[in-house]
């Protein structure tokens, strides 16, 4: 009898849970529908980005363009003949890295020989700029000395992750400091010049040519040595951005019409002019308004890792307030901005994570929950992640379709170098992005390659390619001179 009674009560609980889940799923759809973009809407978004890309490339229209389309002065991707030893310097926060990288032509490999992390003290982040660059030069010198590289004049790839206006591959003007830095005498100055001056003040070592590198470009170039068809770099992590090889004739802000140049799209700013208002949800608007830069980087705030978790949290709070979740009882933790981080999404979606992991997360958030609550949270995480992947696919399709049209090809075959925690760690993101971009760019066959250390190896590859082009240019100049001499000799005879 006891067994029968226990069995019937268990069945009753399951039936009640199933009934509640069915009832909730019908009501939940109304909340989730604004996040579920049709293929037609994604095509429209892709078309808008292509229009903004053209504006950003224009000589006069770029001033007001939300998608900045910055020239990088990287004029080619690797062709497999690059080789040699290089230094890389990666500065983007309270720590910076110095690396020794070797490019091996015979093995088609970029090897990180050694690296060192250096700390920037807090007071130095706020002090005179000369002090900061003297510190960087000192750390670079210590690295060169300790790795027995003294006496060699190695070229340097410089990843400087602050807003800059690049004038040439070795000239980059700092627009403004971010990330807690406020060193005097640097804004409005060429950071390559400041670094070289600091090295000259030491006088105990020399560096060769310097190439400034954006992180998306580093991503593209680090993959480009392994796959010469890689002409796009994309990052989907805390933030998001992409670069690609554009025809020089379309880069109106730079002289010359021959060949190609890598363009840093800065596509995170897509929508800053209000062009994405029709697909922004109330939760997107709330995230934007609460951010440190309202109205800026609208597209990034809809798809990147810094914001995805917060969008989910705001949706869960709304569902709780409307008594669809957690018996209408939100915890203090759930109500706290930033408490539902993007990496919390992954266990809810991944098939590899057990209910115990989900239970741990919800309990840590101070919530009283049941099985149906956990499933609803999973659906919310999945829907918002899916929108992110599909919007990213729409943006990537804009680039690949533009490349194909630029080259007047019926079919484009290309590779995208990818980096970023969302792409690498989210269990479904890459798969959904790839499936959607196939639908939006059916005439483009796209291979995805995960970047290995774009800020290190990629920076070295940018420098290596710049050197190769410089050598080819010198060879061309020499041969032109010889031809003229030969012609003069022929005329004299």
**pLDDT the model gives residue 18:** 61
How would residue 453 be classed by pLDDT, with cut points 50, 70 and 90? Answer: confident
Our measurement of the distance from residue 280's CA atom to the centroid of its chain's CA atoms, rounded to an integer in Å, reads 21
Statement: residue 476 has pLDDT above 60: no
**pLDDT the model gives residue 217:** 93
How would residue 479 be classed by pLDDT, with cut points 50, 70 and 90? Answer: very low
**pLDDT the model gives residue 481:** 47
The residue from 190, 215, 227, 373 that is catalytic is 215
**pLDDT the model gives residue 473:** 59
Statement: residue 111 has pLDDT above 90: no
Query: Which of 116, 72, 86 lies closest to 210, judged by CA?
Result: 86
Statement: residue 89 has pLDDT above 50: yes
3-class secondary structure, 205: coil
Active site residue 215: yes
Encode pLDDT of 402-419 as tens digits: 999 999 999 999 999 999
Question: Which residues are CB-contacts of 60 (< 8 A; sequence separation ≥ 6)?
Answer: none
Which domains occur in the chain, in start order? 37-65+227-452 (3.40.367.20), 75-213+453-471 (3.30.420.40)
Burial 398-426 (b: 16+ CB within 10 A, else e): bbbbbbbebeeeeebebbbbbbbbbbeeb
Active site residue 179: yes
Identify the bridge partners of residue 173 per DSSP, sorted by sequence position: 165, 190
- What is the value of pTM for the model shown? 0.86
Q: Which two tokens stand for residue 2?
A: 């006891």
The residue from 27, 179, 364, 368 that is catalytic is 179
Contact (Cβ atoms closer than 8 angstroms) between residue 235 and residue 219:
yes
Report in angstroms the alpha-carbon separations of 394 from 43, 270, 319, 381, 433: 7, 12, 29, 20, 9
**For 350-492, where are the E strands, in sequence order?**
412-419, 444-450
Encode pLDDT of 361-373 as tens digits: 898 999 998 888 8
Rounded CA gap, 452 and 367, in Å?
39
Percent of the chain whose predicted confidence (pLDDT) is above 70: 89
**For 74-133, where are the E strands, in sequence order?**
84-91, 95-104, 109-119
Higher local confidence (pLDDT), 4 or 89: 89
Query: Which of 255, 246, 257 lies closest to 404, judged by CA?
Result: 246
3-class secondary structure, 419: strand
Rounded CA gap, 301 and 310, in Å?
10
Question: How many beta carbons lie within 10 A of that of residue 199, not counting itself?
Answer: 21
């Amino acid at each position: 009898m006891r067994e029968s009674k226990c069995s019937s009560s268990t069945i009753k609980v399951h039936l009640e849970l199933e009934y509640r889940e069915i009832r909730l799923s019908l009501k939940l759809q109304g909340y989730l529908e604004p996040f579920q973009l049709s293929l037609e809407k994604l095509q429209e978004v892709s078309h808008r980005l292509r229009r903004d890309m053209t504006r950003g490339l224009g000589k006069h229209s770029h001033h007001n363009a939300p998608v900045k389309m910055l020239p990088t002065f990287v004029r080619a991707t690797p062709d497999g003949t690059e080789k040699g030893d290089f230094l890389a310097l990666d500065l983007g926060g309270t720590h910076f890295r110095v690396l020794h990288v070797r490019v091996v032509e015979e093995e088609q490999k970029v090897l990180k020989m050694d690296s060192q992390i250096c700390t920037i003290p807090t007071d130095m982040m706020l002090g005179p700029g000369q002090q900061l660059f003297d510190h960087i030069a000192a750390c670079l010198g210590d690295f060169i000395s300790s790795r027995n590289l003294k006496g060699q004049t190695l070229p340097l790839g410089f990843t400087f992750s602050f807003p800059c206006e690049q004038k040439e591959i070795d000239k980059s003007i700092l627009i403004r400091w971010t990330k807690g830095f406020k060193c005097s005498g640097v804004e409005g100055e060429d950071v390559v010049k400041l670094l070289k001056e600091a090295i000259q003040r030491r006088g105990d070592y020399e560096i060769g040519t310097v190439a400034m590198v954006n992180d998306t470009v580093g991503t593209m170039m680090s993959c480009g040595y392994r796959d010469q068809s890689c002409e796009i770099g994309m990052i989907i992590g805390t933030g998001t951005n992409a670069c690609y090889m554009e025809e020089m004739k379309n880069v109106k802000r730079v002289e010359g019409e021959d060949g190609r140049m890598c363009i840093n799209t800065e596509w995170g700013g897509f929508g800053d002019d209000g062009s994405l208002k029709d697909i922004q949800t109330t939760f997107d608007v709330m995230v934007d308004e609460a951010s440190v830069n309202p109205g800026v980087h609208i597209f990034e705030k809809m798809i990147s890792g810094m914001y995805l978790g917060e969008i989910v949290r705001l949706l869960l709070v709304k569902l709780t307030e409307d008594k669809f979740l957690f018996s209408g009882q939100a915890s203090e933790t759930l109500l706290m901005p930033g408490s539902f981080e993007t990496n919390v999404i992954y266990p809810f979606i991944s098939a590899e994570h057990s209910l115990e992991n989900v239970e741990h997360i919800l309990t840590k958030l101070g919530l009283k929950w049941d099985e149906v609550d956990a499933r609803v949270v999973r659906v919310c995480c999945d829907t918002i992640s899916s929108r992110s992947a599909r919007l990213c696919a729409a943006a990537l399709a804009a680039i690949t379709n533009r490349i194909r049209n630029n080259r007047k090809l019926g079919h484009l075959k290309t590779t995208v170098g990818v980096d970023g925690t969302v792409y690498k760690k989210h269990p479904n993101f890459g798969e959904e992005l790839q499936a959607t971009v196939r639908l939006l760019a059916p005439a483009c066959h796209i291979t995805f390659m995960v970047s290995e250390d774009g800020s290190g190896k990629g920076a070295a590859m940018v420098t290596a390619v710049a050197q190769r082009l410089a050598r080819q240019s010198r060879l061309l100049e020499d041969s032109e001179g010889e031809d003229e001499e030969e012609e003069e000799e022929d005329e004299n005879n």
